[in-house]
Structure 1
Amino acid sequence: MAKATARQTKKTPLHRWKWIGKGPQDRPMRGELIGRSKADIVDQLAKQRITATKIQKRSSFTGRGKVTNVDIMVFARQMATMVRAGIPILQALQAVAESLKKPAMVALTQQLMEDVSSGDSLSAAMAKHPRQFDQLFVNLVDAGEQAGALDQMLERVASYKEKVESLKSRVKKALWYPAAVMTIGVAVTMLLLIKVVPEFESMFQGFGAELPALTQFTVNLSELAQQYWLHALGTLVGSIMLLKAAARRSPGIAYRLDSLLLRLPVLGDIMDKSAVSRFTRTLATTFSSGVPLIEGLETAAGASDNRVYDKVIKSIRQDVATGQQLHFAMRMTNRFPALAVQMVSIGEEAGSLDAMLNRVADYYEEEVENKVDALTSLMEPIIIVVLGALVGGVVVSMYLPIFEIGTAL
């Protein structure tokens, strides 16, 4: 019975709880704690000599959270600091868990503690959570444990993830900024067509005269929007969801989508250079950490975040495994820029491949940043013109009959 109760308690998810209570000398206090139940929170507060008067679970949207790459990056930096200070792994995990504020991350850290306390190495414990700790993370931690340089490897992983996340945010900015603004513009236009234009239309019917072509076009468009806007919205959302589901289930469709993204004007070039930067950054990190080049290429294929480059990097790995040099294998794919291939060739000849790969990554990260800034600057006037044409066109077309009546009078 006791074992069943323990298992049930273990399976209870962690949540964030808001509490109000009284401390020593009846001093009013409040705050937040992470725990599995109200009783757990009461016990934690009692250890701090606090009597809880009110305990409330945070909402599911903010109370538990989801483990992100940023959380893993911060975790790696905290662990590197603890290990560098000479704190044993188990105690370091305990200290990190107590400092975390996201329940999902606390639960993950506690699972690592349980595995390590049962005899697993830190890398083996992390390998049980592939969604949070990718192959690169596990390989570097394993290499650090074997070489006695775990703190350096954790710091290297944190730096790597920080640069990758920075690159991702730039690419997302290039994709989402124009899409978000245009979506708002289309939504405002639809609102005008569905709610505002019908009011003018009823007024125009009393004129008894033929409407200007632009006004008639807007009225006809308004009638279509009123009848089919819900169908159009449902079709759009359904198509997007269907496409995502097809991409998850069919590698062929996912590959074609990634290939299409790389061929888009401007955006395709940004995503292309982003993939090159992530590949070289990942390979540089693994190679400088003592991971064999073949294994590093396997890890870099998964880190490219693009199925086209994933396939290309796997072909490079096969060529390198047969004895070819890395720069020659890269050139044979016809995918990598000539500058990147040339710099890798120089790095191989000089025996400083990791340093040269890092320079390639830095160069293309800067290229991505410059292109995103240029795209943003270019899109702003275009977006203003398009939004002005959409919204202004509807407004002007509604006032044209009124202007003509005023002119006739």
Structure 2
Amino acid sequence: MAVFAYKAIGTDGLVRGSIAADTARQARDQLRARGLRVEEIRSQSSSTATNWIWGGTNRYEARLVPIVRELSTLLSAAIPLSDALRTVTKQQRGRMGNALALVCDRVSAGRSLAEAMREQPQVFDPLTIQMVEVGESAGTLDVVLDHLAEFRERYLQFKDRVLTSLFYPMFVLGMSLLVTLFLMTFVVPMLLDNLLEAGQTIPWPTRILKGVSDLLRGHGMLIAMTLGGVFVGLVFILRTSWGRLRWHRVLLRLPIFGKLAEKQELARASLIIATLMESGIVFLESVGIAARAVKNQVLRHAFERVRDQVQTGSDIGDAMDRQGVFPPTVVQVFAVGQQSGKLEEMLKRLATDYDRQVTSLSTRLATVLEPILIVLLAVVVGFILFATMLPILEAGNVL
């Protein structure tokens, strides 16, 4: 089924919107059945954005929060689901509006909301679908949607703190490389060519500088192609399951960065498990969904093994301890939470604590890296200036 944007004339004047149908002719017939005179109709493609739950970046993730919140408000006011969906759909444009239009038409045709959402995996992730299905089964869809909106608002706060904090240091490093390349390929050759023509004896710092400059000017394209090939090769390797698993295993062993990545992933997984269990979803299904949300392959496989072992009768704490990748604090929280019956509450506290630690550590790391990179830039530029000016100063002394 496709989505068609239309412009038609109705009793209230010009009407614009979108409608789901198999063909343009079927869409036109549906509009005519509504009493509309179609002026224009065109096909709109559905979104193919990568689902966030598999580790990609979903551009609709932030837009889902107000949609879910508004849908919960309308349902709590005793408005029928189809009417509530139609109201929410009218406020959306583009591919999000197309996806909601498909969902609205499916629900109007008798499908459940969860089934309609399951046909749009590019917009609605398994966690959302699972919670909606539980809400429909229990007859508390408005409450579950409100809970889902709160979860999404909090989940959006759990962004990649490390990359965000390191953005400025990486920007400084990139500018350092650009400045260095500019000096070595344009400024330095112009200054040194005059000295060489005069037969001036060149000191060793200047010879080193000239050698690097000649290398960049003579073989710059080859060096760029080599570095590009290495980069493409690394990207290709990281796209394979074997490459991602190896890289994620190395990442967890890195000092500082490994702990940051580990705590960030565990905070997200803990929040997802707690939210799903509070919505009435059993632990095994919650862990399975949380495992797919974990980007690190080592931790993902560990969560999947925990699910399998718990399913065969093991305690949660023992199953996690046998994996050898979870910190003792996490193992204790799961074990004590299972025994006390307060697993959801303890996991939420764990997620909040780990997110706070990641934010603090990444901020301090960025604070330390910034002056180091600035000093490095000053040293590189200073050496270039010193190696360039040294023969000029020596020539002045000789004269």
After TM superposition, is the score higher than 0.5? yes
The answer for unaligned runs of 5 or more in structure 1 is: 1-6, 15-32, 41-65
Match status 1:144 vs 2:135: yes
Aligned ranges 1:323-334 → 2 under 5 Å: 323-334=313-324
Secondary structure at the residue paired with 2:123? coil
Match status 1:95 vs 2:109: no
Shift of 1:376: 1.1
Letter of the structure 2 residue corresponding to residue 222 of structure 1: S
Distance 2:5 2:205 in 1: 60
Secondary structure at the residue paired with 1:205? helix
Give the stretch that moved more between structures: 315-324 or 164-173.
Answer: 164-173
Aligned ranges 1:286-365 → 2 under 5 Å: 286-365=276-355
Give the stretch that moved more between structures: 321-330 or 364-373.
Answer: 321-330
Q: Tell me which residue corresponds to 1:226.
A: 217
Shift of 1:279: 1.4
Residue pair 1:320, 1:329 contacting (<8 A) in 2 also? yes
Q: Tell me which residue corresponds to 1:158.
A: 149
Match status 1:267 vs 2:257: yes
Q: Classify 1:34/1:310 alpha carbon distance in 2 versus 1 (closer, same or farther; 3 Å).
A: same
Distance 2:102 2:318 in 1: 44
Distance 1:156 1:241 in 2: 43
Q: Classify 1:228/1:34 alpha carbon distance in 2 versus 1 (closer, same or farther; 3 Å).
A: farther
Letter of the structure 1 residue corresponding to residue 187 of structure 2: V
Residue pair 2:132, 2:141 contacting (<8 A) in 1 also? yes
1:279-301 CA-to-partner distances (Å, cap 9, x unmatched) read: 11111111111111111111111
Q: Tell me which residue corresponds to 1:195.
A: 186
User: Where in structure 1 do 4 or more consecutive aligned residues deviate above 4 Å?
Assistant: 10-14, 33-36
Secondary structure at the residue paired with 1:168? coil
Residue pair 1:123, 1:141 contacting (<8 A) in 2 also? yes
Distance 1:34 1:171 in 2: 41
Distance 1:406 1:80 in 2: 81
Match status 1:280 vs 2:267: no
Match status 1:71 vs 2:31: no
Q: Tell me which residue corresponds to 2:161.
A: 170
Distance 2:159 2:96 in 1: 22
Q: CA RMSD in A?
A: 2.6
Work out the number of aligned pairs and report it.
356
Distance 1:290 1:349 in 2: 18
Distance 2:226 2:83 in 1: 54
TM-score, normalised on structure 1? 0.80
1:106-132 CA-to-partner distances (Å, cap 9, x unmatched) read: 111112112212221111111112232
The answer for unaligned runs of 5 or more in structure 2 is: 7-15, 20-27, 29-57
Distance 1:270 1:180 in 2: 21
TM-score, normalised on structure 2? 0.82
Q: Classify 1:126/1:397 alpha carbon distance in 2 versus 1 (closer, same or farther; 3 Å).
A: same
Aligned ranges 1:51-62 → 2 under 5 Å: none
Which structure has more relative contact order (CA 8 Å, sep 6+)? It is: 2
Distance 1:13 1:218 in 2: 62
Q: Tell me which residue corresponds to 1:255.
A: 245
Residue pair 1:67, 1:105 contacting (<8 A) in 2 also? no
Secondary structure at the residue paired with 2:162? helix
Secondary structure at the residue paired with 2:314? coil
Residue pair 2:5, 2:17 contacting (<8 A) in 1 also? no
